[in-house]
């Protein structure tokens, strides 16, 4: 259950509605009638992680309130004290995607185009930066278990290079299939906006395509770009530099594969990185 202070704050807002635990990850989630309480319970992350900021999510949800993006609506925010919390509406749907990848690609691309059309306004106070911070995470190293060290050396060199020009825009920053809630074959909502910021749209393209490559294979992931171009009218947001930068972020927490399923996922990850390395402009 939420702590005493959060519970008292919640009761002032909604009365004695029953509170139903919904799960725990980066946040503890509770259903409160038609609302959702998100409690930021990890004190270490609150102190150290710049992308685990409830105030930034609150700011982003306010920004999205008057847009077509199907994000939760912010009802109230408790940002002071331990375990800060947000109370939002509950968006419809379940995380189970449609069985047909083409349906997922089309609707996710249309939604991402809608997100990228948002005027960032005050969200400009948060600017994109890679998750990897050399001061915190140390030097990047090639995974000891890889059979393709040359691919990883090239990937790890990419962040030190001059990035390609990218007109900044509003991005989700962690846009992938597991952030989407589905009602049949349509998207009912998109969640987890702590990372909403201004940055290169190519990072959103990189993150969802990596996710698709891991879950459906590289061929399906490649189909996302034409779907996005059709939905957005934009063809200049993608560059393999962003794919490699995002892959470097993903590598931070990647454990050595121990099971057959983990090995298959790792091989798909390597295939994805290898494809990005091969498509980097020469010179």
- 232: domain CATH number is 3.90.1200.10
C-alpha 219, offset from chain centre = 21
One domain for residues 112 and 78: no
Domain-located, residue 94? no
One domain for residues 130 and 261: yes
Asked if the model's pLDDT at residue 111 lies above 90, the reply is yes
One domain for residues 275 and 165: yes
Asked if the model's pLDDT at residue 123 lies above 60, the reply is no
The pLDDT, as a whole number, for residue 187 is: 97
Tell me how many domains the chain contains.
Answer: 2
Spatial separation of the C-alpha atoms in residues 246 and 238, rounded to whole Å: 12
Interval 17-32: pLDDT, tens: 999 999 888 899 999 9
The DSSP letter of residue 127 is B
Q: What is the mean pLDDT of residues 92-107?
A: 94
Asked if the model's pLDDT at residue 197 lies above 90, the reply is yes
Spatial separation of the C-alpha atoms in residues 108 and 110, rounded to whole Å: 5
One domain for residues 139 and 236: yes
Using pLDDT thresholds of 50, 70 and 90, give the confidence band for residue 140: confident
Average pLDDT for the chain: 92
Q: What is the mean pLDDT of residues 54-68?
A: 94
**Which residue, 89, 120, 140, sits at the end of a domain?**
89
Helix axes 101-116, 201-216, angle to 10 degrees: 170
Residue 200, number of CB atoms within 10 A of its CB: 23
**Contact present, 57 and 87 (Cβ < 8 Å):** no
Q: What is the mean pLDDT of residues 195-210?
A: 96
Using pLDDT thresholds of 50, 70 and 90, give the confidence band for residue 252: confident
Spatial separation of the C-alpha atoms in residues 234 and 227, rounded to whole Å: 10
Domain-located, residue 96? no
> Model-level pTM?
0.93
Using pLDDT thresholds of 50, 70 and 90, give the confidence band for residue 239: very high
- 79: domain CATH number is 3.30.200.20
Spatial separation of the C-alpha atoms in residues 180 and 193, rounded to whole Å: 12
**Contact present, 206 and 242 (Cβ < 8 Å):** yes
Nearest to 194 by CA among 89, 37, 57, 88: 57
Interval 43-60: pLDDT, tens: 999 998 989 999 999 999
Which residue range forms the structural domain that includes residue 73?
A: 4-89
């Amino acid at each position: 259950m939420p702590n005493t202070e959060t519970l008292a704050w919640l009761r002032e807002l909604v009365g004695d509605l029953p509170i139903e635990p919904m799960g725990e990850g980066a946040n503890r989630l509770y259903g409160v009638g038609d609302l959702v309480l998100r409690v930021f319970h990890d004190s270490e992350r609150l102190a150290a992680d710049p992308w685990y900021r409830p105030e930034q999510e609150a700011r982003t949800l306010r920004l999205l309130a008057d847009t077509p993006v199907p994000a939760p609506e912010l009802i109230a925010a408790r940002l002071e004290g331990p375990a800060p919390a947000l109370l939002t509406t509950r968006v419809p749907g379940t995380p189970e995607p449609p069985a047909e990848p083409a349906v997922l690609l089309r609707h996710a691309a249309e939604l991402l185009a809608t997100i990228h059309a948002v005027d960032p306004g005050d969200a400009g106070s948060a600017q994109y930066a890679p998750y990897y911070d050399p001061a915190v995470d140390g030097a990047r190293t090639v995974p000891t278990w890889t059979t393709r060290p040359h691919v990883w050396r090239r990937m790890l060199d990419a962040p030190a290079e001059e990035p390609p020009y990218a007109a900044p825009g509003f991005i989700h920053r962690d846009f992938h299939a597991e952030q989407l809630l589905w009602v049949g074959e349509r998207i009912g909502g998109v969640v987890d906006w702590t990372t909403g910021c201004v940055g290169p749209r190519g990072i959103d393209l990189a993150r969802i395509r990596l996710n698709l490559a891991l879950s459906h294979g590289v061929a399906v992931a490649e189909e996302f770009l034409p779907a996005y171009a059709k939905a957005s009218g934009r063809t200049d947001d993608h560059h393999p530099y962003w794919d490699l930068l995002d892959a470097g972020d993903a590598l931070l927490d990647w454990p050595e594969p121990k099971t057959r399923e983990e090995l298959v996922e790792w091989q798909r990850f390597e295939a994805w990185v290898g494809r990005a390395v091969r498509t980097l402009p020469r010179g």
